[in-house]
Amino acid sequence: MKYDFESYLTRRETGSSKWLNMDSRCSNIGEGVIPMSVADMDFLTAPEIVEGITEYAKTQTLGYSKPVDSYLESVIKFFKDYHNYEAKKEWIVTTPGIVSALATSVRAFTEVGDEVIIFTPVYHPFYDVIEGQGRKILECPLIYDNNEYKIDFDKFNELASKSEVKLVLFCSPHNPGGVVWTKEDLLKVVEIVEKNDLLIVSDEIHSDLIFNNKEHIILGRVNDTIGDRAIVCTAASKTFNIAGLQCSNIFIKNENIRKEFVKCNENIGIERANVLGLVATKSAYDNALDWLEEVKQVIDKNNKIVIEFFEEYGDNFKVMKPDASFLVWVNFENLEKEHGKFMSFLDTQCNFFTSDGLSFGDNGENFIRINTGLPTKKLLENLDRVKKYLKEYYNLDK
Protein backbone atom coordinates (compact mmCIF):
# COMPACT_ATOMS: atom_id res chain seq x y z
CA MET A 1 0.00 0.00 0.00
CA LYS A 2 1.06 3.57 -0.64
CA TYR A 3 -0.07 4.76 2.80
CA ASP A 4 0.76 3.66 6.36
CA PHE A 5 -2.20 2.13 8.20
CA GLU A 6 -0.19 0.02 10.63
CA SER A 7 1.72 2.55 12.74
CA TYR A 8 0.59 2.46 16.35
CA LEU A 9 -0.68 5.75 17.73
CA THR A 10 -1.04 6.37 21.44
CA ARG A 11 -3.55 9.16 21.89
CA ARG A 12 -3.40 9.25 25.66
CA GLU A 13 -2.71 12.77 26.96
CA THR A 14 -3.97 14.27 23.70
CA GLY A 15 -7.55 14.80 24.91
CA SER A 16 -8.92 12.10 22.61
CA SER A 17 -12.55 11.46 23.57
CA LYS A 18 -12.19 7.77 22.79
CA TRP A 19 -9.12 7.34 24.96
CA LEU A 20 -10.56 9.41 27.83
CA ASN A 21 -13.65 7.20 27.68
CA MET A 22 -11.46 4.10 27.97
CA ASP A 23 -9.52 5.47 30.93
CA SER A 24 -12.76 6.33 32.74
CA ARG A 25 -14.01 2.74 32.43
CA CYS A 26 -11.04 0.79 33.77
CA SER A 27 -8.06 1.57 35.99
CA ASN A 28 -6.01 -1.44 34.92
CA ILE A 29 -5.34 -1.08 31.20
CA GLY A 30 -2.61 -3.08 29.53
CA GLU A 31 0.19 -1.59 27.48
CA GLY A 32 -0.65 -0.92 23.84
CA VAL A 33 -4.44 -1.27 24.14
CA ILE A 34 -6.43 0.77 21.61
CA PRO A 35 -10.11 1.45 22.41
CA MET A 36 -12.76 0.51 19.86
CA SER A 37 -15.64 2.72 20.91
CA VAL A 38 -16.05 6.35 19.77
CA ALA A 39 -16.35 6.49 15.97
CA ASP A 40 -13.07 7.95 14.87
CA MET A 41 -10.12 6.03 13.46
CA ASP A 42 -6.64 5.40 14.85
CA PHE A 43 -4.75 5.84 11.61
CA LEU A 44 -2.21 8.47 10.60
CA THR A 45 -3.85 11.43 8.89
CA ALA A 46 -3.66 11.41 5.10
CA PRO A 47 -0.45 13.27 4.21
CA GLU A 48 -2.29 15.33 1.59
CA ILE A 49 -4.51 16.73 4.34
CA VAL A 50 -1.54 17.41 6.62
CA GLU A 51 0.18 19.20 3.76
CA GLY A 52 -2.88 21.32 3.02
CA ILE A 53 -3.30 22.39 6.65
CA THR A 54 0.42 23.07 7.08
CA GLU A 55 0.69 25.19 3.96
CA TYR A 56 -2.37 27.22 4.91
CA ALA A 57 -1.17 27.78 8.47
CA LYS A 58 2.21 28.94 7.19
CA THR A 59 0.83 31.42 4.69
CA GLN A 60 -2.54 32.60 6.05
CA THR A 61 -4.11 33.83 9.27
CA LEU A 62 -6.52 31.65 11.23
CA GLY A 63 -9.29 34.20 11.48
CA TYR A 64 -13.03 33.88 10.98
CA SER A 65 -13.74 32.32 7.60
CA LYS A 66 -16.56 31.27 5.34
CA PRO A 67 -16.41 28.85 2.42
CA VAL A 68 -15.22 30.38 -0.84
CA ASP A 69 -16.26 29.28 -4.31
CA SER A 70 -13.30 26.95 -4.75
CA TYR A 71 -14.30 25.12 -1.56
CA LEU A 72 -17.92 24.76 -2.67
CA GLU A 73 -16.78 23.55 -6.09
CA SER A 74 -14.65 20.83 -4.47
CA VAL A 75 -17.59 19.64 -2.38
CA ILE A 76 -19.92 19.61 -5.38
CA LYS A 77 -17.42 17.71 -7.52
CA PHE A 78 -16.85 15.08 -4.84
CA PHE A 79 -20.56 14.40 -4.42
CA LYS A 80 -21.13 14.31 -8.17
CA ASP A 81 -18.23 11.90 -8.74
CA TYR A 82 -18.73 9.76 -5.64
CA HIS A 83 -22.51 9.74 -5.25
CA ASN A 84 -23.94 10.95 -8.56
CA TYR A 85 -25.53 13.77 -6.58
CA GLU A 86 -25.76 17.07 -8.44
CA ALA A 87 -25.95 19.98 -6.03
CA LYS A 88 -25.63 23.73 -6.38
CA LYS A 89 -23.34 26.03 -4.44
CA GLU A 90 -26.17 27.92 -2.81
CA TRP A 91 -27.56 24.72 -1.28
CA ILE A 92 -24.49 24.18 0.90
CA VAL A 93 -24.46 25.45 4.47
CA THR A 94 -21.34 24.76 6.52
CA THR A 95 -21.67 23.98 10.22
CA PRO A 96 -19.31 22.91 13.03
CA GLY A 97 -20.69 19.38 12.82
CA ILE A 98 -23.62 17.19 11.95
CA VAL A 99 -24.90 16.95 15.53
CA SER A 100 -25.14 20.74 15.66
CA ALA A 101 -27.02 20.61 12.34
CA LEU A 102 -29.45 18.07 13.78
CA ALA A 103 -29.97 20.30 16.82
CA THR A 104 -30.53 23.36 14.65
CA SER A 105 -33.07 21.47 12.55
CA VAL A 106 -35.05 20.47 15.63
CA ARG A 107 -34.90 23.99 17.07
CA ALA A 108 -35.77 25.77 13.82
CA PHE A 109 -38.57 23.58 12.50
CA THR A 110 -40.40 22.32 15.58
CA GLU A 111 -41.89 23.84 18.71
CA VAL A 112 -41.56 22.76 22.32
CA GLY A 113 -43.86 19.77 22.79
CA ASP A 114 -43.78 18.68 19.14
CA GLU A 115 -42.85 15.10 18.33
CA VAL A 116 -39.89 13.96 16.25
CA ILE A 117 -39.65 10.47 14.74
CA ILE A 118 -36.43 8.46 14.96
CA PHE A 119 -35.69 4.88 13.90
CA THR A 120 -34.15 3.02 16.81
CA PRO A 121 -31.61 1.88 17.84
CA VAL A 122 -29.71 4.91 16.59
CA TYR A 123 -26.74 7.18 17.26
CA HIS A 124 -27.31 8.58 20.75
CA PRO A 125 -27.22 12.35 19.93
CA PHE A 126 -30.49 11.83 18.05
CA TYR A 127 -32.12 11.45 21.45
CA ASP A 128 -30.22 14.36 22.99
CA VAL A 129 -31.03 16.99 20.36
CA ILE A 130 -34.75 16.22 20.68
CA GLU A 131 -35.23 15.86 24.43
CA GLY A 132 -32.65 18.51 25.28
CA GLN A 133 -34.74 21.10 23.46
CA GLY A 134 -38.08 20.18 24.98
CA ARG A 135 -39.39 18.10 22.09
CA LYS A 136 -40.72 14.55 22.35
CA ILE A 137 -39.14 11.45 20.88
CA LEU A 138 -41.40 9.19 18.88
CA GLU A 139 -39.58 5.91 18.34
CA CYS A 140 -40.13 3.75 15.29
CA PRO A 141 -38.19 0.63 16.29
CA LEU A 142 -36.40 -1.10 13.46
CA ILE A 143 -37.40 -4.72 12.89
CA TYR A 144 -34.57 -7.05 13.90
CA ASP A 145 -35.03 -10.05 11.65
CA ASN A 146 -32.54 -12.70 10.56
CA ASN A 147 -29.77 -10.57 12.00
CA GLU A 148 -30.71 -7.58 9.83
CA TYR A 149 -32.53 -4.32 10.44
CA LYS A 150 -35.57 -3.38 8.41
CA ILE A 151 -37.81 -0.35 8.62
CA ASP A 152 -41.30 -1.00 9.98
CA PHE A 153 -43.17 0.98 7.35
CA ASP A 154 -46.59 0.25 8.80
CA LYS A 155 -45.47 1.69 12.13
CA PHE A 156 -43.76 4.63 10.46
CA ASN A 157 -46.89 5.43 8.46
CA GLU A 158 -48.96 5.31 11.65
CA LEU A 159 -46.62 7.61 13.57
CA ALA A 160 -46.15 10.04 10.70
CA SER A 161 -49.89 10.70 10.53
CA LYS A 162 -50.00 12.13 14.06
CA SER A 163 -50.69 15.85 14.13
CA GLU A 164 -47.97 16.48 16.73
CA VAL A 165 -45.25 15.11 14.43
CA LYS A 166 -43.34 17.73 12.47
CA LEU A 167 -39.95 16.22 11.76
CA VAL A 168 -38.14 12.95 10.99
CA LEU A 169 -34.49 12.37 11.88
CA PHE A 170 -33.07 9.66 9.64
CA CYS A 171 -29.69 7.91 9.75
CA SER A 172 -28.42 6.78 6.33
CA PRO A 173 -26.35 4.64 6.34
CA HIS A 174 -27.61 3.40 9.65
CA ASN A 175 -25.49 3.78 12.76
CA PRO A 176 -24.98 1.41 14.60
CA GLY A 177 -26.12 -1.32 12.20
CA GLY A 178 -24.17 -0.32 9.10
CA VAL A 179 -27.26 -0.73 6.92
CA VAL A 180 -27.21 0.88 3.48
CA TRP A 181 -30.88 1.53 2.79
CA THR A 182 -32.07 0.37 -0.62
CA LYS A 183 -33.72 2.55 -3.24
CA GLU A 184 -36.99 0.80 -2.40
CA ASP A 185 -36.56 1.61 1.30
CA LEU A 186 -35.83 5.25 0.58
CA LEU A 187 -38.75 5.62 -1.81
CA LYS A 188 -41.10 4.32 0.89
CA VAL A 189 -39.62 6.67 3.48
CA VAL A 190 -39.98 9.62 1.11
CA GLU A 191 -43.55 8.67 0.20
CA ILE A 192 -44.63 8.69 3.84
CA VAL A 193 -42.77 11.94 4.56
CA GLU A 194 -44.33 13.72 1.59
CA LYS A 195 -47.82 12.32 2.20
CA ASN A 196 -47.80 13.71 5.74
CA ASP A 197 -46.15 17.04 4.87
CA LEU A 198 -43.13 16.43 7.11
CA LEU A 199 -39.56 17.65 7.02
CA ILE A 200 -36.81 15.01 7.02
CA VAL A 201 -33.22 15.46 8.17
CA SER A 202 -30.84 12.76 6.96
CA ASP A 203 -27.51 12.13 8.72
CA GLU A 204 -25.30 10.72 5.95
CA ILE A 205 -21.91 11.05 7.62
CA HIS A 206 -20.93 7.41 6.95
CA SER A 207 -21.99 7.46 3.29
CA ASP A 208 -18.52 7.48 1.70
CA LEU A 209 -17.43 4.20 3.30
CA ILE A 210 -19.58 1.65 1.46
CA PHE A 211 -18.79 -2.05 0.96
CA ASN A 212 -20.16 -5.30 -0.48
CA ASN A 213 -21.09 -3.72 -3.83
CA LYS A 214 -23.83 -1.68 -2.21
CA GLU A 215 -24.82 1.78 -3.42
CA HIS A 216 -25.56 4.62 -1.06
CA ILE A 217 -28.22 6.93 -2.45
CA ILE A 218 -28.20 10.50 -1.17
CA LEU A 219 -31.71 11.20 0.12
CA GLY A 220 -31.93 14.38 -1.93
CA ARG A 221 -31.83 12.42 -5.19
CA VAL A 222 -34.36 9.70 -4.35
CA ASN A 223 -37.01 11.51 -6.38
CA ASP A 224 -37.55 14.91 -7.97
CA THR A 225 -39.50 16.43 -5.08
CA ILE A 226 -37.97 15.31 -1.78
CA GLY A 227 -35.27 17.97 -2.02
CA ASP A 228 -37.91 20.56 -1.18
CA ARG A 229 -38.40 19.06 2.29
CA ALA A 230 -35.03 17.46 3.03
CA ILE A 231 -31.92 18.53 4.91
CA VAL A 232 -29.00 16.28 3.98
CA CYS A 233 -26.14 16.29 6.47
CA THR A 234 -22.68 15.30 5.24
CA ALA A 235 -19.05 15.69 6.27
CA ALA A 236 -15.56 14.52 5.44
CA SER A 237 -15.00 13.83 9.13
CA LYS A 238 -15.64 10.07 9.28
CA THR A 239 -14.36 9.46 5.77
CA PHE A 240 -10.97 11.09 6.28
CA ASN A 241 -10.82 10.97 10.10
CA ILE A 242 -10.89 14.73 10.65
CA ALA A 243 -13.85 15.01 13.06
CA GLY A 244 -11.86 17.18 15.47
CA LEU A 245 -11.66 19.94 12.86
CA GLN A 246 -15.43 20.46 13.07
CA CYS A 247 -16.65 21.10 9.56
CA SER A 248 -19.78 19.70 7.92
CA ASN A 249 -21.59 20.38 4.66
CA ILE A 250 -25.36 20.54 4.90
CA PHE A 251 -27.31 20.39 1.64
CA ILE A 252 -30.57 22.35 1.79
CA LYS A 253 -32.22 22.79 -1.60
CA ASN A 254 -35.34 24.64 -0.43
CA GLU A 255 -34.47 28.32 -0.10
CA ASN A 256 -36.98 29.09 2.67
CA ILE A 257 -35.85 26.12 4.74
CA ARG A 258 -32.23 27.08 4.15
CA LYS A 259 -32.78 30.68 5.26
CA GLU A 260 -34.55 29.56 8.43
CA PHE A 261 -31.78 27.06 9.18
CA VAL A 262 -29.06 29.68 8.72
CA LYS A 263 -30.98 32.22 10.81
CA CYS A 264 -31.30 29.74 13.67
CA ASN A 265 -27.58 28.93 13.49
CA GLU A 266 -26.72 32.62 13.61
CA ASN A 267 -29.03 33.20 16.56
CA ILE A 268 -27.20 30.63 18.67
CA GLY A 269 -23.72 31.53 17.43
CA ILE A 270 -22.76 28.40 15.49
CA GLU A 271 -22.88 29.72 11.95
CA ARG A 272 -19.21 29.09 11.14
CA ALA A 273 -17.20 25.98 10.50
CA ASN A 274 -13.59 25.78 11.69
CA VAL A 275 -11.22 27.49 9.25
CA LEU A 276 -8.80 24.54 9.28
CA GLY A 277 -11.78 22.23 8.89
CA LEU A 278 -12.58 23.99 5.63
CA VAL A 279 -8.96 23.64 4.52
CA ALA A 280 -8.80 19.97 5.50
CA THR A 281 -12.09 19.13 3.79
CA LYS A 282 -11.03 20.76 0.53
CA SER A 283 -7.62 19.05 0.72
CA ALA A 284 -9.33 15.71 1.30
CA TYR A 285 -11.80 16.02 -1.56
CA ASP A 286 -9.19 17.39 -3.97
CA ASN A 287 -6.11 15.35 -3.13
CA ALA A 288 -6.72 12.44 -0.73
CA LEU A 289 -8.97 10.14 -2.72
CA ASP A 290 -6.20 7.55 -3.10
CA TRP A 291 -5.92 7.49 0.69
CA LEU A 292 -9.68 6.98 0.89
CA GLU A 293 -9.59 3.98 -1.43
CA GLU A 294 -6.83 2.37 0.61
CA VAL A 295 -8.42 3.01 4.00
CA LYS A 296 -11.61 1.39 2.67
CA GLN A 297 -9.60 -1.74 1.91
CA VAL A 298 -8.22 -1.80 5.46
CA ILE A 299 -11.64 -1.24 7.01
CA ASP A 300 -13.24 -3.93 4.86
CA LYS A 301 -10.52 -6.37 5.91
CA ASN A 302 -10.90 -5.46 9.58
CA ASN A 303 -14.69 -5.73 9.44
CA LYS A 304 -14.38 -9.24 8.01
CA ILE A 305 -11.87 -10.24 10.72
CA VAL A 306 -14.30 -9.18 13.45
CA ILE A 307 -17.25 -10.90 11.78
CA GLU A 308 -15.35 -14.15 11.34
CA PHE A 309 -14.04 -14.03 14.91
CA PHE A 310 -17.47 -13.88 16.51
CA GLU A 311 -19.16 -16.18 14.00
CA GLU A 312 -16.71 -18.93 14.97
CA TYR A 313 -18.44 -19.02 18.36
CA GLY A 314 -21.64 -20.17 16.70
CA ASP A 315 -24.95 -19.12 18.20
CA ASN A 316 -23.31 -17.41 21.17
CA PHE A 317 -22.96 -14.25 19.08
CA LYS A 318 -24.95 -12.76 16.23
CA VAL A 319 -23.02 -10.35 14.06
CA MET A 320 -24.68 -7.83 11.78
CA LYS A 321 -22.51 -7.59 8.68
CA PRO A 322 -22.07 -3.89 7.91
CA ASP A 323 -22.36 -2.56 4.40
CA ALA A 324 -21.06 0.80 5.57
CA SER A 325 -18.33 2.27 7.74
CA PHE A 326 -15.94 0.88 10.34
CA LEU A 327 -18.57 -0.18 12.89
CA VAL A 328 -19.70 -3.75 13.60
CA TRP A 329 -22.87 -4.41 15.65
CA VAL A 330 -22.70 -7.61 17.70
CA ASN A 331 -25.44 -9.27 19.77
CA PHE A 332 -24.35 -11.38 22.76
CA GLU A 333 -27.69 -12.27 24.39
CA ASN A 334 -27.32 -16.01 23.71
CA LEU A 335 -24.12 -16.00 25.74
CA GLU A 336 -24.95 -13.56 28.53
CA LYS A 337 -28.37 -12.23 29.49
CA GLU A 338 -27.02 -9.63 31.93
CA HIS A 339 -25.99 -6.70 29.77
CA GLY A 340 -23.98 -4.86 32.40
CA LYS A 341 -22.13 -7.99 33.44
CA PHE A 342 -20.86 -8.66 29.92
CA MET A 343 -19.88 -5.02 29.37
CA SER A 344 -17.88 -5.11 32.60
CA PHE A 345 -16.25 -8.38 31.51
CA LEU A 346 -15.13 -6.84 28.22
CA ASP A 347 -13.75 -3.72 29.92
CA THR A 348 -12.05 -5.07 33.00
CA GLN A 349 -11.01 -8.57 31.95
CA CYS A 350 -10.46 -8.23 28.22
CA ASN A 351 -9.54 -4.54 27.95
CA PHE A 352 -11.81 -4.63 24.91
CA PHE A 353 -13.46 -1.22 24.95
CA THR A 354 -16.50 -1.00 22.68
CA SER A 355 -19.58 1.22 22.56
CA ASP A 356 -22.35 0.08 24.88
CA GLY A 357 -25.41 -0.96 22.87
CA LEU A 358 -27.74 0.67 25.38
CA SER A 359 -26.37 4.09 24.44
CA PHE A 360 -28.22 3.64 21.13
CA GLY A 361 -31.57 3.03 22.83
CA ASP A 362 -33.38 0.38 24.85
CA ASN A 363 -33.41 -1.98 21.87
CA GLY A 364 -29.63 -1.85 21.90
CA GLU A 365 -29.60 -4.04 24.99
CA ASN A 366 -27.27 -7.04 24.68
CA PHE A 367 -25.40 -5.40 21.80
CA ILE A 368 -21.97 -3.88 21.46
CA ARG A 369 -20.68 -1.67 18.65
CA ILE A 370 -17.09 -2.38 17.66
CA ASN A 371 -14.97 0.25 15.91
CA THR A 372 -12.63 -1.43 13.42
CA GLY A 373 -10.79 1.72 12.37
CA LEU A 374 -7.40 0.78 13.81
CA PRO A 375 -4.25 -1.02 12.66
CA THR A 376 -5.04 -4.65 11.85
CA LYS A 377 -2.26 -5.86 14.14
CA LYS A 378 -3.79 -4.00 17.11
CA LEU A 379 -7.25 -5.31 16.22
CA LEU A 380 -5.94 -8.89 16.31
CA GLU A 381 -4.28 -8.24 19.68
CA ASN A 382 -7.58 -6.98 21.07
CA LEU A 383 -9.44 -10.03 19.76
CA ASP A 384 -6.81 -12.39 21.18
CA ARG A 385 -7.58 -11.07 24.66
CA VAL A 386 -11.30 -11.64 24.11
CA LYS A 387 -10.58 -15.19 22.95
CA LYS A 388 -8.48 -15.88 26.03
CA TYR A 389 -11.05 -14.66 28.53
CA LEU A 390 -14.08 -16.12 26.75
CA LYS A 391 -12.43 -19.48 27.29
CA GLU A 392 -11.51 -18.72 30.90
CA TYR A 393 -14.78 -17.16 32.07
CA TYR A 394 -17.41 -18.66 29.74
CA ASN A 395 -15.68 -21.92 28.82
CA LEU A 396 -15.97 -21.01 25.15
CA ASP A 397 -13.52 -22.37 22.65
CA LYS A 398 -13.42 -22.02 18.90
Q: Where are the domains of the chain?
A: 17-46+289-393, 63-287
Q: Are 229 and 194 in contact (CB under 8 A)?
A: yes
Amino acid (one-letter) located at 36: M
The predicted pLDDT at position 30 comes to 87
Please provide the CATH number assigned to the domain covering 63-287.
Answer: 3.40.640.10
Model confidence, pTM: 0.97
Which own/partner contact pairs does 209-212 have at CB distance under 8 Å and 24+ positions apart? 209/238, 209/239, 209/296, 209/299, 209/324, 209/325, 209/326, 210/173, 210/180, 210/323, 210/324, 211/296, 211/299, 211/300, 211/303, 211/322, 211/323, 211/324, 212/321, 212/323
Q: Are 92 and 249 in contact (CB under 8 A)?
A: yes
The predicted pLDDT at position 31 comes to 86
Please provide the CATH number assigned to the domain covering 17-46+289-393.
Answer: 3.90.1150.10
What span, in angstroms and rounded, lies between the C-alpha atoms of 76 and 239?
Answer: 16
What span, in angstroms and rounded, lies between the C-alpha atoms of 181 and 200?
Answer: 15
The predicted pLDDT at position 87 comes to 98
Residue-level pLDDT, tens digit, the chain, 398 residues: 999 999 988 898 899 999 999 999 998 898 889 999 999 999 999 999 999 999 999 999 999 999 999 999 999 999 999 999 999 999 999 999 999 999 999 999 999 999 999 999 999 999 999 999 999 999 999 999 999 999 999 999 999 999 999 999 999 999 999 999 999 999 999 999 999 999 999 999 999 999 999 999 999 999 999 999 999 999 999 999 999 999 999 999 999 999 999 999 999 999 889 999 999 999 999 999 999 999 999 999 999 999 999 999 999 999 999 999 999 999 999 999 999 999 999 999 999 999 999 999 999 999 999 999 999 999 999 999 999 999 999 999 87
